[in-house]
Structure 1
Amino acid sequence: MTEQRHEDWDPRAASVKKDQIRAYDDMRERCPVAWSDYQQWTLFRHADVMAVLEDHDTFSNAVSAHLSVPNGMDPPEHTPYRKVIEPYFAPEPMARFEPICREIARGLVSQLAKGETVDVVDALSRPFALHIQCAFMGWPERLHEPLAEWVRKNHRATLARDRQAMAEVAQEFDGYIRDILDARRQAGDQAPDDVTTSLMREQVNGKPMTDEELVSLMRNWTVGELATISASVSILLNYLARHPALMADLKAAPELLPEAIDEILRMDAPLISNRRVTTREVEIGGRTIPAGEKITLLWASANRDEAEFGNPDSYCPHQNASKNLLYGAGIHVCPGAPLARMELQVFMEEFLKQIAAVDSTEGEQPERAMFPTGGFNHLPLIFHGGQTPGTF
């Protein structure tokens, strides 16, 4: 017998929108397994999220009626697609892509206006995410502006919760990918030797992937990359603006960047949540959840759980690394984590080489992104150029 359904919280309440991270901190203490019409069952605690990640039989990734390759699949269907994807993020392809990524980062940082207010989102985070994703996939530069406009339309539709607009935006994006696939096929042997062409040649279970599968895979890669990398850059620069001593430390010792980046993004999540669906009745945190129910795994809360991290805002990268769920865990751990880590490290290296200091603005206020996205929609900062003593 399941308990009577009632709203434990409202994820869209004004108090949550004002500061969603702090609202999640409060819910983790007050009601760590909570029901709402909007998110259904939300898990706030690290231990409960880990229990779900480690039990993919009970908690399925197949949460949508639409094809989602491979993150919306369960084993055994999931396994062959995952095997196809993972080599693209191996050390050798990462090393080949690193100089291209560095050139993009260096160029964007060098163009920053110094000594005046700059919107980080428009000037750095969104362009960086867009340019590196197109470069990684081998897509032409002429797609930069259409995709940038697509990002803006997708953002507006998501904020408005306009399902029709969201469907139209998704269809538009799929059209871009289908045009790319058609162009590669027409080019035949003259098609560029890049990730997109290589994926078109891959086989799953002895057969080439269908266009529907390729579109789904490339959509998931690209939409995820554009959102999370952009959010990550804005979060990192916002944190350094408020912690100048850490910025000085990282300029003096850039080898500390990998663990610093992961720790900052633990405290302030670029990706707020993922979903699962129960395959059977299960008890979590004293709540009975029936089969077929949607579960929201709230990374933005689990990665700040006092039971695991103590004060969630304490910067302790070495101490917290083994428990950090920035890229998930279990069989669905993010396959693109090596790419994301390399891109963010390269960006921060180039940023620290060229920028001596970052200041927040007193008058113009930042605008936070809202669920399901982290980071910022608008982040005004002031950059000061030049090297400081001891920098690399």
Structure 2
Amino acid sequence: MADDPRNPDWAPRADEVLGDQIWAYDTMRIQCPVAWSDYQHWTLFRHGDVMRVLEDHQTFSSAASSHLSVPNGMDPPEHTPYREVIEPYFSHQSMSEFEPTCRSIARNLVNSLPAGQPFDIIGKFSRAFALQIQCAFMGWPDSLHEPLREWVLKNHRATLARDRRAMAEVAHEFDGYIHDLLEARRQAEANAPRDVTTSLMEETVNGRPMTDEELTSLLRNWTVGELGTISASVSILLSYLAEHPDLRQSLANDTLALPDAIDEILRMDAPLISNRRITTRDVEIGGRRIPAGEKITILWASANRDEKVFGDPDAFCPHKNRDRNLLYGTGVHVCPGAPLARMELRVLMEEFLSSVDTLEPAPDESPERAVFPTGGFSYLPMRLSFMSRAGN
């Protein structure tokens, strides 16, 4: 018999939780590492429990949504052919070919930042970078930047409110953008742009082309993941480096250390808070009995700070923690876009650190943290100065 879920162990949407999610998750990991709530259902806070879920996809299925989710919401063997289609888009060669475009976008954005006066990192930098880089990678027009920016905000509001009607309307809106992109390429026929979107339309799965429903689901998952997590990641990185100027200077002098440093900072402060699974059979985790058909929330933001794995979760130890960092997950559902995200963040930080002389919180203004299900910041006022650009 399962534990009685009618008595919540915690309230994930309580003000004290949303006001400081990191503190709340650290506390729950110690006091109640497997917890029930009406909002998240069963939540796993410990690294070991999350690893168990990630490594046992037969017991903990990714098909936790009632809607088609390609490939995130699929399990092997159904999941496998879609992953085989997707992974070449994030190969070393693909990343090398896209890096100059990424660097140009990053450099232009850095150079556009105001010097000496407070500005919001989110509005002027992190969100703009995520939008521009996603559209460039997919081959989408610049005219989609603003509609997608508004769409991301609406999607977050609907998800936070658990407003199913609003969520359906937001999904339908995105489907319309994708329909127009696909139809424009079909109309163009041989003159269609040779970009990632066109290439995906020509892929086959199990010997057949993907349906528009599959393509739309795939592109929605890519876009939601990219826009939300990249923007959150940039805000987390700049906030941390503003608080640790010695590390910022060290990384500016040694950019080869950037990849590990970026992953470590994002281990401590997660850009992606959680993912979901569903149990396929009765199971016991952390002394709690969970029946089949129950939704599980795996909390990256807690698992990646587990003291039993990382020691002091706030200690900056990139080499020590590298192999156990779950920033991009692990197992069959490890994030296929991790090479793209890592390249984008590395290039952006290279450009930022090579140009910016000082970086500090804006005086008399307070940052605002984003709230579940989003990590990072929703408002991050900063002030910076640039190095001399003589000779550029």
Q: Give your verdict on TM over 0.5.
A: yes
Question: How far apart, in 1, do the equivalents of 2:223 and 2:378 lie?
Answer: 19
2:181 maps to which residue?
A: 180
1:331 maps to which residue?
A: 332
Pairwise CA distance, 1:150? 1.6
CA contact (8 A) 1:42 1:297 kept: yes
CA contact (8 A) 1:355 1:387 kept: no
CA contact (8 A) 1:369 1:375 kept: yes
Question: How far apart, in 2, do the equivalents of 1:284 and 1:17 lie?
Answer: 26
5 Å-filtered alignment, 1:212-291, equals 212-291=213-292
Pairwise CA distance, 1:387? 5.7
2:114 maps to which residue?
A: 113
For the pair 1:346 / 2:347, whether they are aligned, the reply is: yes
Identity of aligned residues (%): 70
2:144 maps to which residue?
A: 143
Residues 65, 36 of structure 1: alpha-carbon distance in 2 compared, 3 angstrom cutoff: same
1:11 maps to which residue?
A: 12
Question: How far apart, in 1, do the equivalents of 2:46 and 2:343 lie?
Answer: 29
Question: How far apart, in 2, do the equivalents of 1:334 and 1:152 lie?
Answer: 23
Question: How far apart, in 2, do the equivalents of 1:58 and 1:165 lie?
Answer: 32
Question: How far apart, in 1, do the equivalents of 2:157 and 2:205 lie?
Answer: 36
Question: How far apart, in 2, do the equivalents of 1:299 and 1:98 lie?
Answer: 28
For the pair 1:211 / 2:212, whether they are aligned, the reply is: yes
For the pair 1:322 / 2:323, whether they are aligned, the reply is: yes
CA contact (8 A) 1:353 1:387 kept: no
Once the two structures are superposed, residues 148-192 of structure 1 have per-residue CA deviations (whole angstroms, 9 ceiling, x without a partner) of: 222232233334433222221111011000100000000000000
5 Å-filtered alignment, 1:46-65, equals 46-65=47-66
Once the two structures are superposed, residues 111-135 of structure 1 have per-residue CA deviations (whole angstroms, 9 ceiling, x without a partner) of: 0001111100001110000000000
Secondary structure of residue in 1 paired with 2:43: strand
Secondary structure of residue in 2 paired with 1:9: coil
Figure out how many residues of one structure are paired with residues of the other and give that number. 388
Question: How far apart, in 1, do the equivalents of 2:159 and 2:244 lie?
Answer: 32
CA contact (8 A) 2:115 2:383 kept: yes
Once the two structures are superposed, residues 189-244 of structure 1 have per-residue CA deviations (whole angstroms, 9 ceiling, x without a partner) of: 00000100000000000000000000000010011100000000000000001000
Pairwise CA distance, 1:357? 1.4
CA contact (8 A) 2:9 2:37 kept: yes
CA contact (8 A) 1:32 1:43 kept: yes
For the pair 1:193 / 2:201, whether they are aligned, the reply is: no
1:145 partner letter: E
Secondary structure of residue in 2 paired with 1:248: helix
2:380 maps to which residue?
A: 379
2:371 maps to which residue?
A: 370
CA contact (8 A) 1:154 1:169 kept: yes
1:18 partner letter: G
Once the two structures are superposed, residues 247-298 of structure 1 have per-residue CA deviations (whole angstroms, 9 ceiling, x without a partner) of: 0100111110000000000000000000000000001011111000000000
CA contact (8 A) 1:58 1:280 kept: yes
CA contact (8 A) 2:241 2:248 kept: yes
2:123 maps to which residue?
A: 122
Pairwise CA distance, 1:17? 1.1
1:41 maps to which residue?
A: 42
- What TM-score comes out, normalization by structure 2 length? 0.97
CA contact (8 A) 2:115 2:384 kept: yes
CA contact (8 A) 1:35 1:42 kept: yes
Question: How far apart, in 2, do the equivalents of 1:155 and 1:325 lie?
Answer: 23
2:9 partner letter: D
Once the two structures are superposed, residues 314-367 of structure 1 have per-residue CA deviations (whole angstroms, 9 ceiling, x without a partner) of: 000000000000000010000000000000000000000110111112311111
2:22 partner letter: I
Question: How far apart, in 2, do the equivalents of 1:195 and 1:206 lie?
Answer: 20
Q: Structure 1: 5+ residue runs without aligned partners?
A: none
2:162 partner letter: R
1:13 partner letter: A
Question: How far apart, in 2, do the equivalents of 1:168 and 1:97 lie?
Answer: 33
1:104 maps to which residue?
A: 105
CA contact (8 A) 1:89 1:335 kept: yes
CA contact (8 A) 2:160 2:373 kept: no
Secondary structure of residue in 2 paired with 1:23: helix
CA contact (8 A) 2:45 2:298 kept: yes
CA contact (8 A) 1:262 1:317 kept: yes
1:4 partner letter: D
2:163 partner letter: D
CA contact (8 A) 1:25 1:301 kept: yes
Question: How far apart, in 2, do the equivalents of 1:153 and 1:387 lie?
Answer: 40
For the pair 1:357 / 2:358, whether they are aligned, the reply is: yes
CA contact (8 A) 1:121 1:377 kept: yes
Q: Structure 2: 5+ residue runs without aligned partners?
A: none
Question: How far apart, in 2, do the equivalents of 1:73 and 1:162 lie?
Answer: 24
1:2 partner letter: A
1:267 partner letter: M
Secondary structure of residue in 2 paired with 1:221: helix
- What TM-score comes out, normalization by structure 1 length? 0.97
Pairwise CA distance, 1:139? 0.5
Question: How far apart, in 1, do the equivalents of 2:98 and 2:79 lie?
Answer: 27
Question: How far apart, in 1, do the equivalents of 2:145 and 2:230 lie?
Answer: 16
CA contact (8 A) 1:360 1:382 kept: yes
Question: How far apart, in 2, do the equivalents of 1:166 and 1:64 lie?
Answer: 13
Secondary structure of residue in 1 paired with 2:249: helix
1:57 partner letter: Q
2:320 partner letter: Q
